[in-house]
Structure 1
Amino acid sequence: MHLVLTGATGLIGAGVLQHMLATEAVTRISIISRRPVPMANGHDKARVLLRTDFMNYDAELLEELSDAQGVVWALGTSQASVDKEEYRKITYHYPIRAARAFATIHPESPFNFVFISGAGATQTPNMLTSLYGRVKGLAEQALLDLHGKSLNFSVYNLRPGAVDWRSQPAIHSTMPTQPLYKRAVMPVLDSIYSSLLIKTQALGKVSTELALSNGAPLEGEDIEMEGRLVLNAAIKRMAGS
């Protein structure tokens, strides 16, 4: 099957790509990226589609993706790295524009949009809710609204906790260097708050499997929004970790 991936040079995206490359059921990977993706080098089933505009999807690109089963949308940035408007553009407008375009690729058959959101996202923000939580929550809701309007367009919003890359050395040379505070806090989370952690391998496995799935709603106490919101505990459970 043919899958699409964004954010392949990021921490989560690198883990997803490594899993897709190792999955026999994935026969083709279209990586939409601003820059080259070293991990894809030498892999016949991976093709990097370089783009600088994530707000528009022309007919040529959509034709390239016309037989794709789904996408894992791992593109994102820290709210501390850009101003508020740029953060909203990257976190909300980019995935929504893509989803609207991808929903038209083959409306007669299923297409799965797997959105990597994050713990803290909410549809009911209050005065203490961060920009991150508000904008991620808006994106989740907009994707769910689109899912409700399109018969064969299925959405899964994943809310991972603190992402742990340490046990996946295959991605260390290609993922971004992690800041010192993240490297320092990981052992603490390991020993005291391990339930908040999620390994990159688990995210890669579950997001790939959902992109390959039949688009049906999920079940479980750790699944919300009528089977479309996958909490950190559910990701770990589904990954068997």
Structure 2
Amino acid sequence: MSRLKSCSRLSGSQSPPAQNAAASEIMLTTAANTGLAGAIATAYRAQKYLMHLILTGATGLVGSAVLDAMLKMKDVTKISIISRRPVKMAEDAKDPRVTTIIHNNFEKYDSDLLSKVEGAAGCVWALGISQTQVGKEEYIQITKTMTLRAAEAFQTLSTPAQPFNFVYVSGEGTTHTPGRFTPIFGRVKGETEVALSEMCNANPNFHASSVRPAFVDSAQHDSINKYVPAPTMTMQAMVLVLGGPIRCFAKGSWSPTEALGRFMTEMAMGKWHSQLEGPGIEKLGDFPVVRNFGFRRLAGLDKN
């Protein structure tokens, strides 16, 4: 069997075991034809080809932006959405790469669920809620507890050959040194970042990171606007009053969703792992925190 024929069997619509079997077939065939060095090189190419990503929070504003980016990237070969309910945007896409896994308890990940995301290279954790919509304890549960339980579970997907990239959607205003008047979101997200950094520093195969968007704005992102939740009256008023000035005069605080979704997807793919340095990037050991102006710099939004 030729190598070309073996490669043609790989597709994003295959299940993880089928993907792994196909990749193994490539390696075995190449080993027979070209020896160990060729097998290693081909294994690396096969691994890159099988770019399987996980997404949570796909019905929210940031999650919708990330899903749109994943759908547009041809080198993403499988998208596993973990959600409490069907995701309309995913259904409308009719893309064979997408699987929605209905899951009700985001604090528990059994072997059945983990088998469905086997082989995944990364996750964008966009699950979250505003501190104004729930009480303090529920906010902590959603923002911190659920995130950390998922990170613990997804660490088992990592290997030395394929580290797992866990991208946490945080936000500007987050701090690791809260004061008396720090809002609950800043305190809890900061605690979550610190806990993720401890996991990251303890496991070299677990590449966790955090992104802190600021004014998340989908005004120029028509492909997601019909899917995102309607903003509250207060939020609509704030966007109406502040949106224009931020876009024109305070761009360092502007997080346009199309660029943000693409950047987070690329982080989950590991494309930015070795470049997370410089202005706008903070480090907790091996754990990078990408501030909004750092995201804008890396994404090329401030070239002019």
Do they fold alike, i.e. is TM over 0.5? yes
Matched with 2:150 is 98
The alpha carbon displacement at 1:162 in A equals: 0.8
Give the drift of 1:217: 6.2
Equivalent in the alignment of 1:11: 61
Residue 230 of structure 2 is aligned with which of 177, 186, 198? Answer: 177
- Distance (whole Å) between structure 2 residues aligned to residue 237 and residue 192 of structure 1: 16
The offset of 1:235, in angstroms, is: 0.8
The answer as to 2:247 corresponding to 1:197 is no
Per-residue CA distance 1:194-231 (angstroms, 9 max, x = gap): 22111001211111111111644611121111561111
2:59–2:227 contact (8 Å) kept in structure 1: yes
Range with bigger deviation, 107-116 or 83-92: 107-116
| Alignment of structure 1 residues 57-72 onto 2, 5 Å | 57-72=109-124
Greater share of residues in helix? 2
Q: Which residue of 2 aligns with 1:223?
A: 281
Please state whether the residue corresponding to 2:121 is helix, strand or coil. Answer: strand
Counterpart in the other structure of 2:203: 150
| 2:245 pairs with one of 188, 199, 218 | 188
TM-score (ref. length: structure 1): 0.96
Whole-Å Cα distance in 1 between the matches of residues 246 and 274 of structure 2?
Answer: 33
- Between Structure 1 and Structure 2, how many residues are aligned? 241
Unaligned 5+ segments in structure 2 are: 1-50
Higher gyration radius (CA): 2
Aligned 8 A contact 1:217 1:228 in 2: no
Counterpart of 2:18? none
Q: What corresponds to 2:140 in structure 1?
A: 88
Is 1:239 equivalent to 2:296 in the alignment?
Answer: no
Paired position in structure 2 for 1:128: 181
Letter in 2 for 1:94: M
Percent identity (aligned): 41
Give distance in 1, aligned partners of 2:275 and 2:143: 24
Uncovered stretches (5+) of structure 1, i.e. residues with no partner: none
Question: Which one of the candidate residues 155, 163, 167 is aligned to 2:216?
Answer: 163
User: What is the CA–CA distance in structure 1 between the aligned matches of 2:197 and 2:215, rounded to whole Å?
Assistant: 24
Deviations 1:27-77 (A, max 9, x none): 100000111111112111111111110000000111111100000000100
RMSD: 1.3
Determine the C-alpha separation between the residues in 2 that align with 1:195 and 1:181: 21
Contact 2:158 2:206 in 1 (8 A): no
For the residues of structure 2 that align with 1:165 and 1:37, how far apart are their CA atoms?
A: 18
Return the alpha-carbon distance in structure 2 between the equivalents of residues 182 and 68 of structure 1: 38
Q: Distance in 1 between matches of 2:144 and 2:274?
A: 24
Q: How does the TM-score come out when normalised to structure 2? A: 0.77
